[in-house]
Amino acid sequence: MAAPGTALAPDARAVRTVAFVEGVRTPFGKAGDKGIYAGTRADDLVVNTIRELLRRHPELPPERVDEVAIAATTQIGDQGLTIGRTAAILAGLPKSVPGFALDRMCAGAMTAVTTTAAGIGFGAYDVVIAGGVEHMGRHPMGEGVDPNPRIIADKLVDPTALVMGQTAENLHDRFPHITKQRTDAYAARSQEKYAEAVKTGKIGPELVPVATRSAELGWGLATEDEPPRPGTTLEQLAGLKTPFRPHGRITAGNAAGLNDGATAALLADEATARELGLPIGMKLVGYSFAGVEPEVMGIGPVPATEKLLKRTGLSIEDIGLFEINEAFAVQVLAFLDHYGIADDDPRVNQWGGAIACGHPLASSGVRLMTQLSRQFAERPDVRYGLTTMCIGIGMGGTVIWENPAFEGKK
């Protein structure tokens, strides 16, 4: 007769509440030889963010970190070699702390958060660090890749699907009422809102100073984002070139640039956070990813959000704050139009977005979450917020969060 099996612990399969403790990021730089991080390694950018989280939370014993998940779109050179593990070691975490790398293009950091959050919810982890990095100056998107020729030869996708700027032009074709003038106006407002947020101290506390090295200037210290263009006017935007199509609509002014930077967030089971005395910035409600035609990847946030709203039982009217990644202005406006939200709705990207501060691909998801968490602290009248982004090769990702400071609608 077989021996009776050992019973599982009572809470072995219990679903637990996931808390977003805090997120930090490096200042974002311009990619290229003249950018602030031209002489800085990608993995060192990540190390700075991990160390900053540990410095800000001395109440967290480093050995209590159960996993480090770091995303990079181009996993090569100083962004390769399982960067989550190597960055953890370089940051001084105990060697008993494991780590891994992952890639979902622009949604890398978002996926690092949702993947490890699922582990927390299931009980595999109590505390994790999740984030992303992209050094587009050292590693342009697509470096070293070898796409299977059948993707194009078998007409699985249109050739424009592999060039993000061309997919944004395709989105304009699909929604001709989203004019270039309208996207330029949105872009100018993003710059204006970002500049105001910096001036009033809304943006800044989450930034991690980074030592930089220039062959011409020597050592320096990066303390603020490099890409913003304060004072941008509609007249300036109207005169910019359209590199992806003659007489097109996508320009360097109504799209995010090529950038370098890193982000990291501390996540924990709610009970563990309270045990350790960690603050709770927001609580995870749910997340969803969806696929769309790669040729119009910018529409991805719409089905991802629809899928998640259905799953959670919430409606778009329940969302009091939106953080939408501004890869291209047209992609944000397509999302807003779908839900009947005005271009200048104060709930949307109230501190500006990637058109102003930059979009270092795999790092951006945690920037969105960090800003939403800090906005929640100021808005006890808002219960739910949403972070969403389009993803290359035709996807979208959305995460809904709950404000622990919610006191009821005024």
Q: Exposed, middle or buried, 316 (CB in 10 Å: 0-12/13-18/19+)?
A: middle
- Phi-psi group of 233: left, alpha or beta (phi > 0 → left; psi -120 to 50 → alpha; rest → beta): beta
**Residues designated as active site:** 106, 359, 390
Phi-psi region of 353 (alpha: psi -120 to 50; beta: other; left: phi over 0): beta
Closest Cα to residue 17, out of 122, 130, 124?
Answer: 122
Are 87 and 99 in contact by the 8 Å Cβ rule? The answer is yes
Tell me the HSE value of 339 on the side-chain side, using a 13 A CA sphere.
Answer: 22
211 and 45 Cβ atoms separated by less than 8 Å: no
3-state DSSP call for residue 382? coil
- For residue 240, the 8-state DSSP code is S
Task: Identify whether the C-beta of residue 282 lies closer than 8 Å to the C-beta of residue 372.
Answer: yes
399 by Cβ neighbours in 10 Å (0-12 / 13-18 / 19+) ranks as: buried
CB 260 within 8 A of CB 134: yes
Q: Which residue from 388, 398, 117 is spatially nearest to 265, judged by alpha carbons?
A: 117
* Beta carbons of 369 and 323 less than 8 angstroms apart: yes
As given in the structure block, the two tokens for residue 343 are 């271009």
